[in-house]
Amino acid sequence: MARVLICYGTSEGQTATVAERMGDVVDGEGHDVILAHLKHPPGELEPDSYDGIVVGASIHGGSHQRYVGSFVRDHLETLNRRPSAFFSVSLTAAHDDPDERAPAAELLEEFLDETGWNPDGTLAVAGALKYSEYGLLKRFVMRRIAGRASGDTDTSRDYEYTDWEDVEAFAREFTTLLRADA
């Protein structure tokens, strides 16, 4: 049994939900999982005390949460030594057209370049439009963006684009890596 840290940054909660689903899969494979929101970590997080680390972040205004970048930079040596994986949640990743989806992969790579992290696995995950949780301005902005992209502009409901099978497969693959490393 390995100890696995799954930590993330989130602004509207979808990355937390993705992290929880990954946690369920890793836990189901018999490992010990700790989930942590990097904006409010439970005391001092010590990634070095885990056998594997998964980090997630979402994209807002073209970049991932800064505090996730800081966490990765602070623990770079550990992350590059232990089995590790990074997932990035965005609306761009929800596009069907690979050309439209490409910027999500580019931003993911940019995050890794900027931090110097070399994770064993990466995944660009389609996120959600949570109109019900946005304030007036955010709702207006996101409605305009969605109008140009998916056309999902009915602000009386939320939209979720996350491919849960992909998320679960990614988590299962990570447990394979843990077994290989043990």
Ligand X SMILES: Cc1cc2nc3c(=O)[nH]c(=O)nc-3n(C[C@H](O)[C@H](O)[C@H](O)COP(=O)(O)O)c2cc1C
| Residues binding ligand X (CB under 6 A) | 10-15, 58-62, 89-92, 127-129, 138, 141-142
Q: How far is the CB of 170 from ligand X (least distance, A)?
A: 16
Closest to ligand X by CB, 42 or 61: 61
Closest to ligand X by CB, 58 or 115: 58
Q: How far is the CB of 109 from ligand X (least distance, A)?
A: 14
Closest to ligand X by CB, 20 or 46: 20
CA atoms of 134 and 142, how far apart (whole Å): 9
Residue of this chain nearest to ligand X (CB atom): 127
DSSP conformation class of 140: H
Contacts 24+ apart (CB under 8 A), 23-32: 23/171, 25/168, 25/171, 25/172, 25/175, 26/171, 26/174, 26/175, 29/172, 29/175, 30/1, 31/1, 31/2, 31/3, 31/4, 31/175, 31/178, 32/1, 32/2, 32/3, 32/4
Q: How far is the CB of 96 from ligand X (least distance, A)?
A: 14
Q: How far is the CB of 139 from ligand X (least distance, A)?
A: 9
Closest to ligand X by CB, 12 or 29: 12
